[in-house]
């Protein structure tokens, strides 16, 4: 890509176009309160609502949330099934509100391992919101970055077998356009809550040039102030906006 073309992709006014979040720390949040881990996951749902609403009002194009990794099946059966129930419940309860807010919902990840009921809910929610033009909300569920690359390579292979792709056309775009995030800009800002400094097999290809932001805040406590701080940090790293979290919130107040 030419320098001009890549500069053209840079986010406007320090606002990232694509934000990805590893929503970590629910279990510890609950344990600190002497509660079961599931209590933390339930509390995390409100933080998801806040983050989606904030991203949407800020004019971010895409928000990708890591909800369940391909490795999270290793957790106790009781926690996994509680999480699945929570997804079904939240999806059913939120989709109308998302649709009203012009948000396009996509669930990325290997869905074949989900119950029939959950798969149907997901398909219905995606279909309902498919033509919305506001924020693209990707929920990564049973997602792994290596899996995403693998399924892209498999699609390359089958498109080659079908004569739809020549080996001379195998370039970066051929991979990017077959990832689950096809059509979206690369991630500009990755946020991880919960204090750990790792990627945990989240988006790999898409994070190539992302700014990484780690905060000790546990996911259920991640509110608009915390999200603003992350955006402000991104903006200052861009050296374009250099503003504070307060200014980001003021910007939002004026644009709203």
Closest CA to 221 of 72, 37, 51, 55: 51
Which range in 11-19, 67-75, 208-216, 238-246 contacts ligand IPE by CB under 6 A? 67-75
Does 67 bind ligand IPE (CB under 6 A)? Our answer is: yes
Q: Which residue has the tokens 């990017």?
A: 176
Residues 6 or more apart in contact with residue 128 via CB below 8 angstroms: 95, 99
Report the residue number, 38 or 248, with the smaller CB distance to ligand IPE: 38
Residues 195-254, interacting with ligand IPE (CB under 6 A): 196, 198, 200
| Out of 11, 14, 16, 27, the residue judged to bind ligand IPE by CB under 6 A | 27
Residues 6 or more apart in contact with residue 57 via CB below 8 angstroms: 252, 255, 256
Does 19 bind ligand IPE (CB under 6 A)? Our answer is: no
Count CB-CB contacts under 10 A for residue 35. 14
Give the residue nearest to Mg ion (CB). 24
Closest CA to 189 of 210, 219, 214: 210
Find which of Mg ion, ligand IPE, none residue 200 binds, CB within 5 to 8 Å per kind.
ligand IPE
Which range in 151-159, 175-183, 192-200, 226-234 contacts ligand IPE by CB under 6 A? 192-200
Closest CA to 187 of 5, 16, 14, 13: 16
| Out of 18, 47, 48, 66, the residue judged to bind ligand IPE by CB under 6 A | 66
| Out of 15, 16, 23, 24, the residue judged to bind Mg ion by CB under 5 A | 24
Find which of Mg ion, ligand IPE, none residue 146 binds, CB within 5 to 8 Å per kind.
none
Coil/strand/helix, residue 199? coil
**For 212, which DSSP code?**
E
Closest CA to 251 of 236, 241, 238: 241
Active-site positions read: 24, 72
CB 213 within 8 A of CB 234: yes
Give the residue nearest to ligand IPE (CB). 27
Report the residue number, 159 or 221, with the smaller CB distance to Mg ion: 221
Burial class (CB in 10 A: 0-12, 13-18, 19+), 4: exposed
Does 25 bind ligand IPE (CB under 6 A)? Our answer is: yes
Report the residue number, 190 or 251, with the smaller CB distance to Mg ion: 190
**For 74, which DSSP code?**
G
Q: Which residues bind ligand IPE (CB under 6 A)?
A: 22-28, 66-69, 72, 83, 194, 196, 198, 200
Q: Which residues bind Mg ion (CB under 5 A)?
A: 24
């Amino acid at each position: 890509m030419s320098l001009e073309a890549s500069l053209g992709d840079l986010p406007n006014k320090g606002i990232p176009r694509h934000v990805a979040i590893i929503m970590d720390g629910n279990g510890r949040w609950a344990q600190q309160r002497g509660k079961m881990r599931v209590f933390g996951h339930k509390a995390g749902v409100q933080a998801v609502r806040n983050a989606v609403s904030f991203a949407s009002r800020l004019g971010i194009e895409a928000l990708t949330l890591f909800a369940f990794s391909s490795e999270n099946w290793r957790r106790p059966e009781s926690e996994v099934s509680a999480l699945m129930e929570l997804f079904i419940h939240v999806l059913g309860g939120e989709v109308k509100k998302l649709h009203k807010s012009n948000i396009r919902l996509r669930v990325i990840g290997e869905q074949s391992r989900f119950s029939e009921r959950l798969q149907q809910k997901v398909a219905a929610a995606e279909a309902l919101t498919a033509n919305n033009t506001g924020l693209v909300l990707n929920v990564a569920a049973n997602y792994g970055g290596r899996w995403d690359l693998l399924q892209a390579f498999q699609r390359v292979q089958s498109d080659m077998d079908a004569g739809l792709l020549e080996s001379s056309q195998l370039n970066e775009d051929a991979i990017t356009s077959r990832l689950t995030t096809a059509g979206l800009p690369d991630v500009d800002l990755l946020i991880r809550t919960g204090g750990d400094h790792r990627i945990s097999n989240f988006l790999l290809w898409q994070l190539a040039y992302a700014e990484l932001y780690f905060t000790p805040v546990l996911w259920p406590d991640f509110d608009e102030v915390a999200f603003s701080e992350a955006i402000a940090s991104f903006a200052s790293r861009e050296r374009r906006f250099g503003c504070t979290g307060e200014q980001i919130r003021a910007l939002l107040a004026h644009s709203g």
